Chains A and B, each alone.
Chain A
């Protein structure tokens, strides 16, 4: 099989700008650390990237984290987050796109621009590079290297070659048109990043890109196949890659500024209505629906309340307004902790999904859709945390085993085994055997248990019962019920190593009418935990 390369290799004059150590720069900016911090980014226990300060102490990529900490005291280590790189690079790309079109992000920290048009506009390639440096300096990015050459590969090498320049010179290397083969000829083969080919060529006595480029293209093609031919072309300064400009993504987030600041929730909700509708329309226009939303509220005195909201289906405009309202109302009045008027609301779609994946079926999606609508309505009446679903978790006391989650916080149908499910599978010594009681009091009710002579029943520190229980009163009716049968005390000690841990005794009692009760004795006081009614 013969696969073909593009027939006429024409070089595209390319400007490549490179921000060295971008993961480190992004992490420093994100966490607002000073630039001279000895910082390492750790990925799976090894150093993924390190800042110049850490490098001076001898920290290298690939070291184990312990070793790096031994070499550099005061090392700050953070987990490497690939999405942070992308996120932090987005403003950089956007800033360059405002001054020249056609930016291709090769990876976060490295961008290619077709330089022909901008060079004509700004006068020359050097001036274009200068404009890029100035633009990026304006957004606080000082360490930028720029290379201009025929094709992206040569331009990247030129950008990396700025290391050899003087400190006070502008970090720009421009290889004149047609000069790329000469520029690349002295480079070692490793820059091709093809280890197998490199080893093979070295055994054949070829040490540099110049040597490799001097071979005849047809021979290389016959001997090394397609990959070899591509590498040969790169070595000769002719890149088969072209600069593919990205289309700037649509702006999906929405910001609403209020002047003067709004102090009342209903004012805010009313004003947000149109903004939320526009926000949802933008998403809809891009063929997307938002399933998780990040809402941040900024106040006049500089406080920020930020929260991520999930939706069981996707947000429509009313849902967005509801979330803003609930975030302000909170579970109780003091929840959000904001003390002054709201000046800005920022809506960021955190998770967007394709509209097609969420489209209604031909006859609707059945009852579930109406469930979501109905529950959303009740939530907007009562508040987000008033409509709950239950999950069984682990625990010894029955109230601990019931975890209530506001509707919509866990998307319906997602079967991810969260922490409750994992905890539930633990042994939990002291948990209740037999059938579960149908009524578990959310707040345990006080109870009284007495023996036949009317003295209160208690358990001594050794776990012995003072007397058999004969009568008890449970719940609100207050009447004394004779004990028909009983069992206990069953000791429960929760976190005995912790002063805040609890030590309780549990009893099952059946009264004369045949109803059974679950009682707790803690600190000489009796409580009704549950009722088998």
Chain B
């Protein structure tokens, strides 16, 4: 597929994610699939929303507005369409025309021709599409491979901090990953991580910030 690398703009992205995304950030006109994490999808919305871009969430009735606010998403510029019903494609296409980022639940069925038209529209309008759930046609797939929580014991405490290993698959099939904390995604970390410290590539022991209980995600 003719990639949109040539003339595509980069949208502002949370630094922790910009490091592993192809092209160094959210590219307008591209599509991203987030495999298993609404948190990650919100972190992708947060960067553009904080700079005044309009976001739209289609077909995700369980989207938590409170968590979105925690990520710095401007709720006044967030449109929710929990139930587009059978008009998924026309609603998504109509919103791709006007908003910068559209977050959708992966459609159950989308004909290749329809996807090609939606893709062309995305590129023309300079919007980015994020699908929640894995989707082969997307330019890049992100997911939380490992996750660990701090603060919860056996019957005591409450969830405080989270560390995640986030992987991003490039269109070429190359896999990049990064270890990030939830606070980094929310942009509230005290010292945002040094550029080189939790590096890309393999064999990174950065999970030692607290008790390394990173577990393989099922």
List chain A positions with a Cβ less than 8 A from chain B.
Answer: 367, 370-371, 373-375, 377-378, 381-382, 386-392, 398, 401-402, 404, 407, 412-413, 433-442, 465, 468, 484-488, 508, 510, 512-516, 530-533
B residues near A441, Cβ cutoff 8 Å: 62
Of the listed stretches B10-18, B63-71, B171-179, name the one at the interface; the rest are far from the partner chain: B63-71
User: Could you tell me if B155 and A487 are in contact, using CB atoms closer than 8 angstroms?
Assistant: yes
- 20 further contact pairs, Cβ within 8 A, besides A381-B91, A389-B80, A404-B82: A367-B54, A378-B81, A381-B94, A382-B87, A391-B65, A391-B75, A398-B64, A413-B76, A435-B70, A435-B186, A437-B67, A439-B38, A439-B63, A442-B82, A508-B152, A508-B158, A514-B146, A514-B149, A514-B215, A533-B39
Contact partners of A514 in chain B: CB under 8 A? 146-149, 213-215, 217
Task: Compute how far the CA of A340 lies from the CA of B80 in the bound complex, rounded to whole angstroms.
Answer: 35
Which partner residue on chain B sits nearest A404 by CB separation?
B80
With A391-B75, A487-B157, A487-B158: A439-B62 Cβ-Cβ less than 8 Å: yes
A375 to chain B, nearest CB (A): 7
Residue among B87, B154, B158, B213 making CB contact with A433, cutoff 8 Å: B158
**28 residue pairs from A and B, CB less than 8 Å apart:** A370-B98, A371-B98, A374-B95, A375-B98, A382-B81, A382-B84, A386-B82, A388-B79, A390-B68, A391-B65, A392-B65, A402-B66, A433-B158, A435-B186, A436-B64, A438-B42, A439-B62, A440-B63, A442-B82, A487-B158, A513-B218, A514-B215, A516-B149, A516-B162, A532-B39, A532-B149, A532-B159, A533-B39
Establish whether residues A434 and B54, one from each chain, have CB atoms under 8 Å apart when the complex forms.
no
Partner of A486, one of B61, B69, B83, B154: B154
Contact with A along B72-92 (1 / 0, CB 8 A): 000110111111110100110
Contact with A along B198-218 (1 / 0, CB 8 A): 000000000000000111111
Chain B residues with Cβ below 8 Å from A508 are: 152, 158-159
Decide if B65 touches A510 in the complex (CB within 8 Å).
no
B38: which A residues are within 8 A, CB to CB? 438-439, 531, 533
When C-beta atoms are compared, the residue in chain A nearest to B92 turns out to be A378
Which B residues between 114 and 145 are near A, CB-CB below 8 angstroms? 144
* Known contacts A514-B217, A533-B37, A392 near B158 by CB under 8 Å: no
Residues of B within 8 A of A513 (CB): 147, 215-218
On chain B, the residues within 8 Å of A389 by CB distance are 75-76, 78-80
* B50 interface contact, C-beta 8 A: no
Chain A residues with CB under 8 Å of B153's CB are: 485, 487
Taking the closest CB of chain B, its distance from the CB of A232, in whole angstroms, is: 60
Q: Tell me which residues across on chain A come within 8 A of B8, comparing CB atoms.
A: none
Give the secondary structure class of A's interface: mixed
Q: Which residues of A contact B218 (CB under 8 A)?
A: 513
- With contacts A371-B99, A438-B64 taken as known, whether A487 is within 8 angstroms of B152 at the C-beta atoms is yes
Residue numbers in B under 8 Å from A378 (CB-CB): 81, 91, 94-95
> In the complex, are the beta carbons of A381 and B87 less than 8 A apart?
yes
Query: A530 contacts which of B54, B64, B152 (Cβ < 8 Å)?
Result: B64
Alpha-carbon distance between A441 and B82 when the two chains are bound, in angstroms: 12
Interface size on B, residues (CB 8 A): 59
- Say yes or no: B64 contacts A402, CB within 8 Å: yes
Is A485's CB under 8 angstroms from B81's CB? no
Cα(A99)–Cα(B216), bound, Å: 88
A387-B79 contact in complex given A439-B62, A468-B154, C-beta closer than 8 Å? yes
- Let me know if A436 and B70 touch, CB within 8 A: yes
Residues of A within 8 A of B158 (CB): 433-434, 487, 508
Contact A398 B66 (CB under 8 A): yes
Shortest distance from the beta carbon of B51 to any chain A beta carbon, whole Å: 12
Which 7 A/B pairs are nearest by Cβ-Cβ distance?
A: A374-B98, A390-B65, A514-B147, A438-B38, A436-B67, A440-B64, A438-B39
Q: How far is the CB of B44 from chain A (nearest CB, A)?
A: 12
If the complex has contacts A404-B80, A532-B159, are A390 and B147 also in contact, measured as CB distance less than 8 A? no
Query: Which residues of chain A are within 8 angstroms of B149 by Cβ–Cβ distance?
Result: 485, 510, 514, 516, 532
B160 in contact (CB, < 8 A): yes
Would you call A435 and B182 a contact (CB within 8 A)? yes
B113 interface residue, CB < 8 Å from A?
no
Q: Is B2 an interface residue (CB 8 A)?
A: no
Residue of A nearest to B148 (CB): A514
Partner pick for B75 among A390, A437, A439, CB 8 A cutoff: A390
Nearest chain B residue, comparing its CB with the CB of A374? B98
Residue of B nearest to A410 (CB): B76
CA distance A442 to B186 in the complex (A): 24
Bound-complex Cα distance A101 to B32 (A): 70
Pick the contact of A510 from B84, B87, B152 — CB < 8 Å?
A: B152
A390 to B49, CA, bound (A): 15
B106 at the interface (CB under 8 A from A): no
**Given A378-B94, A513-B215, A513-B217, CB of A434 within 8 Å of CB of B151:** yes
Point out the residue from A387, A468, A530 that lies within 8 Å of B81, measured CB to CB. A387
**Most chain B CB within a 10 A radius of its CB, from A381, A437, A485:** A485
Q: How many angstroms from the CA of A381 to the CA of B90 in the assembled complex?
A: 9
Distance, CA A510 to CA B65, complexed state (A): 22
Q: Which of A382, A402, A413, A533 contacts B65 (CB 8 A)?
A: A402
Q: Taking CB as reference atom, which chain B residue is nearest A368? A: B54
Would you call B36 an interface residue if the criterion is a C-beta within 8 Å of the partner chain's C-beta atoms?
A: yes
Asked if B94 contacts A377 (CB within 8 A), the reply is: yes
A374, A412, A433: most-surrounded residue (chain B CB, <10 A): A374
Residues in A with CB closer than 8 Å to B81 are 378, 382, 386-388
Q: Which residues of chain B are near A392, meaning CB under 8 Å?
A: 65-66, 69, 75
Minimum CB–CB distance from B91 to chain A (whole Å) comes to 6
CA distance A390 to B91 in the complex (A): 19
The minimal Cβ–Cβ distance linking A223 to chain B, given in whole angstroms, is 62
